[in-house]
Amino acid sequence: MLLSPRLFPNLMIRLAYRCTVWRLGPLGRVCSLVAYVLFGIEVASRCEIGPGLFLPHTQGTVIGAARIGSNCTIYQGVTIGARELDMDFSLERRPVIGDGVLIGAGAKVLGPIEIGADVRIGSNANVVTSLPPGALALAPACKIRSGSDKP
């Protein structure tokens, strides 16, 4: 059970944050590295995460938010972080995710924006502006062509 791809990454993420708060930064980075190597999820050890985080699949997920609220669901391949290179992990350049947010597979949430409570972000959506509570963000729809359609 401890090696569950849903429980163990969560424990390592929370331990990494606790180590950072307790001024044990290098140990926090080691915890983050273990989660990355074993489960393919990269989470900044300075990212504060509320209770109830659910990670159904962790592969390819990068979380570099300033804060993630409680009861959020984040699917695989999601990127949350700064829009430009930020080696110092400046909280002012990172997104803040509200409570009860669902982020679909492959979505990108980038920049100093706020995502309100109960927002749904669809798969492969690119979010670069703040969203009010209860909003729905979707990727542009693709037109499906049949074999007889000419481009």
Q: What is the pLDDT of residues 69-121, one digit of tens each?
A: 999 999 999 999 999 887 888 889 999 999 999 999 999 999 999 999 999 99
* Chain-centre distance for alpha carbon 143: 28
Tell whether the torsion through CA atoms of 135, 90, 32 and 27 is positive or negative.
negative
Domain ranges of the chain: 41-137
CATH number belonging to domain 41-137: 2.160.10.10
pTM above 0.85? yes
Written as one letter, the residue type at 21 is V
Q: In whole angstroms, what is the distance from residue 45 CA to residue 109 CA?
A: 18
pLDDT of residue 1: 60
Are the CB atoms for 56 and 39 separated by under 8 Å?
no
Q: Nearest-5° angle of CA 7, CA 119, CA 76?
A: 40
